[in-house]
């Protein structure tokens, strides 16, 4: 099955971010990898970003 254009663009942007972080050095790249891992683990359980305080600015939280 062919990947959508949106999916291809997100992957290209992610790859570019990885390259830019790697160019800055191992610490920058390591921080990026760790941050992405934490975000992925939170999104798997809730289907979205980690739940924060419900405010007027977090429309997604209020819609639940």
State the Cα–Cα distance between residues 41 and 47, nearest whole angstrom: 10
CB 49, CB 43: distance < 8 Å: yes
State the Cα–Cα distance between residues 36 and 30, nearest whole angstrom: 10
> Given this model, what pLDDT does residue 38 score?
85
A 10 A CB-CB count for 2 gives 6
> Given this model, what pLDDT does residue 46 score?
55
pTM of the model: 0.52
Any idea where the domains of the chain sit in the sequence? 1-47
- pLDDT one-digit tens code per residue, 10-64: 999 999 999 999 999 989 889 988 888 888 777 665 555 555 555 555 455 544 4
Taking alpha carbons only, the member of 44, 22, 42, 45 closest to residue 33 is 22
> Given this model, what pLDDT does residue 49 score?
54
């Amino acid at each position: 099955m062919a990947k959508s254009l949106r999916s291809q663009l997100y992957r290209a942007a992610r790859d570019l971010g990885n390259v830019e972080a790697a160019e800055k050095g191992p610490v920058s790249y390591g921080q990026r990898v760790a941050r992405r891992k934490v975000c992925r683990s939170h999104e798997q359980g809730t289907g979205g970003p980690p739940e924060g305080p419900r405010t007027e600015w977090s429309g997604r939280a209020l819609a639940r």
